Chains A and B, each alone.
Chain A
Amino acid sequence: MGNEGTAKRSFIQWYKNKWHNDPLFSIFVALIVMVILQTLVLGFDYDSFDGWFESWTSNWINILRNNAGIGIVALGMTFVIMTGGIDLAVGATLVATGAFAMMLIDIGERGLLGLMGVTGVPAIALALVLVLLFGYLLGALIGITITKGMVPPFIATLGAMMIYRSVTQQTMQGYNPQVPTEFLQISGFQIGDLMIMPIIYWLIIAAILYYVSKRTIFGRQIIAVGSNERAARLSGINVDRVKLHVYALMGLLVSIAAIIQVSRVGAMDVSGAGRGMEMDAIAAAVVGGTSMMGGRGFILGTVYGMLIIGVLNNLLNLFGAPPLLSDAFKGFIVIVAILLQRKGKIT
């Protein structure tokens, strides 16, 4: 025994220590377990390794691509929750910005940019900028309501949710914009023969926000504000400004998700799209270790959380589980994730 025994023991020690002290570790382990499960379920019933690998990767690319938009929204939601807030308006902001994008680039006779004489690639570039600005603005409006109006985030975003969606629906009534094919390249552009642009956007944004949360003043101030608002103010932090920026950033990220969605399918159903998105985003953040009390949150954890939920949906598909039950499983995962983290918490 000797060597082997101590090696095993020190691994267990390391594992225990990690489990108790690194809040991301338990989430990561859960993710790995689910990936293994998923791989087993996919099976190895292939002629060659290449055949298996191809099917495995294409399944994964599907998961990632399907969750890229909401994954981006969940990143913003992480910041919002870290300040001690919540944003219920993301789904409505998604349709508002998506509809705005379609109105701008419509190649039919009502297209706004077309009417102004801007067409082709410049029109698309201009549209992108305007949509991002619009998303930022819609978020900032919520932020101002919360900070200057001192309306609790739950109420402010609940109100915004209803306003944004219903105004969008009214505006888009009986209007079917035609999205130009160039616009579809934003999501549809292929690298090799893989359609992975949405995944790349997600990863880039996750990387940027990870850096923001770790190293920038803004990122650290978010934690301070969510953890102890009074102490943050007494340390010279402009609490209102931080919150305002967090909601504005949320709006901006939602508008990116909207662009991805519109450019994937070439249309958006303004009454159905984005419904329940806020709950999925919150679920991803919470599974990833973000505390609803504010202060504690992890961008990387939210990426894991999103993947866990994505793999779960995929598994349910593979198992042929009744689609109506998929929310039940999601709810179950959220609760289990919280229980796991409770155990891993340092007291």
Chain B
Amino acid sequence: MKIEMTNIKKSFGNNEVLKSISLTINGGEIYALLGENGAGKSTLMNILGGIHQADEGAIMIDGETAQLHNPVQSQEAGIAFIHQELNLINDLPVYENMFLGREPKTKRGSLDLEKMLHETEEMFKKMNIQLDPRKMVGDLDSSYKQTIEICRAMMTNASVIIMDEPTTSLTDSEIERVFEMMKTLKSHNVGLIFISHKLQEVKRICDRYAVLRDGVLVSEGSVPDVTTDDLARFMVGHDVRTEPLAKERNLGKEVLRVEELTHHPFFRNINFSVKQGEVVGVTGLLGDGRSELFQSIFGADDISSGKIYIDGEEVKNNSTIKAINKGIAYLPRNRKENAIIQDMDILENSSIATWPKFSKAGIINNEWHLKKFEDLKKTLRIKMQDPTDSILSLSGGNQQKVVLAKWLATDPKILILDNPTQGVDVGAKEDIYDIILKLADENIAVIVLSSEASEIIRVCDRSLVMYQGVIQGELIGKEMSDHSIMNLATGGELAEERSEK
């Protein structure tokens, strides 16, 4: 199948988001759609997916004008869409989610649950996913959810699959399996549109690329002809820094220590401590329990046993409010479910955590919050119109920056960042790394949870690698490498790692 989009224009109010874009996507190729946060990638794909209507322009499928007025028409035209934000029904089991909107029926007209379950199991086997399809989606971690979304789209027999940042929550080995599937689909002449800010991935898997900047197509070509640095430059308009970051710092006293912390079945016997001015990475694969661990430390979840010390003092009856008052900030992963409050505007989403601190007699100090937000907006380069616009009017990466702004505004002593650069573009990623290192210089302890080994290696002084709920090992400084992290994350031993050296 061949899709041609010609002279597509789209505005939201006065905000001209797409300025006459023309693209052609062929069957049997993987097409990378690149661009900074807010460049218009998702908007363009939403038009192809029938979610938004173009103001001007035409879409042709196999030479015929296509009418894509709603998502159903788009699906019927053979287009499957993996959205940037998760779109699963939490109260249904995995296998029913896999068939949402195209449920198979038995002869008597009821849902064919057997068939759904069976086909889901087959799919998971092919993808090498250890997950019981009968589980409720609501009980799953975001990386499982993302995997489910990908499998779901791949099962639809679509001729074109749009993948809007499908790998933001995944770790390398899962990404590997997704790539295998993509290659298989490609060989079956399926066209794939792949949006990602991870340029290495693009370089590895994609055939052609297009770069959008401020709603204009600025570059298009064949992926083998360019380097990742080239792509980065096309996106942001200048060279993106690649040199290593300076990390010389004096560490202060210990601010966080946990002893034998356990919460069944997520993590057990966790011991570590973090000092002022330290940047500590925590990484691992799917099901390693790192998010659950830090949610418990932040007071959002219970613990079964063990102790948490902040500034040498044991914390009991922990709660998120208590944690914030003690100077802990926790930016959760999966912003849509854990951070974005849809019914509030941008400013409120960025200030909710500081309302109690900057208020008088229960009345929120709006001026303070607005001023603070304007500062952070500049530092983080958030692309937006008005602070009182809905948070949903922002692009995914810019929503992420707003959530980050919210936690930076709390002036934390311990900053825990869980997948902080989810959906953030290459240039903005470097901005965030700079902020992390600057905070560390100011004696703040920063803990970075990430599934990207490269991110951990780039900003952290040392890294804890988790495997199935325990800390499998700690890597310090130069010991951190893709190889050593992967080894520990898959259950390898630190000793053999060291003896190899």
Interface, chain A (partner B; CB < 8 A) = 215-218, 220-221, 223-224, 226-228, 230-238, 295-296, 346
Contact = CB atoms under 8 A, between A and B. Distances in A.
Nearest to B328: A236
A223 B344 contact: yes
Contacts of A346: 390
B86 interface: no
A224 B342 contact: no
B356 interface: yes
B352 A224 contact: yes
A233 B344 contact: no
Interface stretch (B139-147, B176-184, B191-199, B319-327): B319-327
A157 to B, nearest CB: 23
B320 A224 contact: no
A234 B319 contact: no
B359 A217 contact: yes
B353 A231 contact: no
Residue in A226, A228, A230 with the greatest tally of chain B CB atoms within 10 Å: A228
Contacts of B332: 234
Contacts of A230: 337-338
Contact of B352 (A218, A237, A295): A237
Contact of A236 (B324, B338, B344): B324
Given A215-B366, A220-B352, A236-B321, 12 more contacts: A224-B341, A228-B341, A231-B338, A231-B341, A232-B352, A235-B320, A235-B341, A235-B352, A236-B353, A237-B321, A295-B342, A296-B343
Contacts of A238: 319, 321
A226 B342 CA distance: 10
Nearest to A214: B364
Residue in B341, B356, B406 with the greatest tally of chain A CB atoms within 10 Å: B341
A227 B344 contact: yes
19 contacts: A215-B366, A216-B364, A217-B356, A217-B359, A217-B363, A217-B364, A220-B344, A220-B348, A223-B341, A223-B343, A223-B344, A224-B344, A228-B340, A231-B339, A235-B341, A235-B353, A237-B320, A237-B321, A238-B321
Interface of B: 295, 298, 300, 319-321, 323-324, 330, 332, 337-344, 348, 352-353, 355-356, 359, 362-364, 366, 390, 406
Contacts of B324: 236
Nearest to B393: A346
Contact of A235 (B343, B390, B406): B406
B361 to A, nearest CB: 9
A215 B320 contact: no
A228 B366 CA distance: 22
A227 B352 contact: no
Nearest to B410: A236
Contact of A295 (B337, B339, B343, B359): B343
Contacts of B323: 236
Contacts of B355: 217, 220-221
B16 to A, nearest CB: 17
A297 to B, nearest CB: 9
Residue in B320, B324, B352, B406 with the greatest tally of chain A CB atoms within 10 Å: B352
Contacts of A237: 320-321, 352
Given A217-B356, A233-B320, A237-B352, A227 B364 contact: no
A246 to B, nearest CB: 15
Residue in A224, A226, A227, A235 with the greatest tally of chain B CB atoms within 10 Å: A235
Contacts of B339: 231, 234-235
Contacts of A226: 343
B340 A217 contact: no
Contacts of B352: 220, 224, 232, 235-237
The list of the 7 closest CB pairs from A to B, nearest first, reads A295-B343, A227-B343, A236-B324, A235-B352, A217-B355, A236-B320, A227-B341
A295 B341 CA distance: 9
A95 B92 CA distance: 42
Contacts of A233: 300, 320
B364 A234 contact: no
A224 B339 CA distance: 10
A150 B364 CA distance: 30
Nearest to B330: A234
Contact of A231 (B340, B364, B366): B340
A216 B362 contact: yes
Contacts of A215: 363-364, 366
B334 to A, nearest CB: 10
Contacts of A227: 341-344
Nearest to A226: B343
A179 to B, nearest CB: 36
B96 to A, nearest CB: 22
Contact of A217 (B300, B320, B362): B362
A231 B337 contact: yes
Contacts of A221: 355
Nearest to A228: B341
Contacts of B338: 230-231, 234
A147 B324 CA distance: 22
A232 B332 CA distance: 12
B343 A234 contact: no
Nearest to B344: A223
A236 B348 CA distance: 14
Nearest to B348: A220
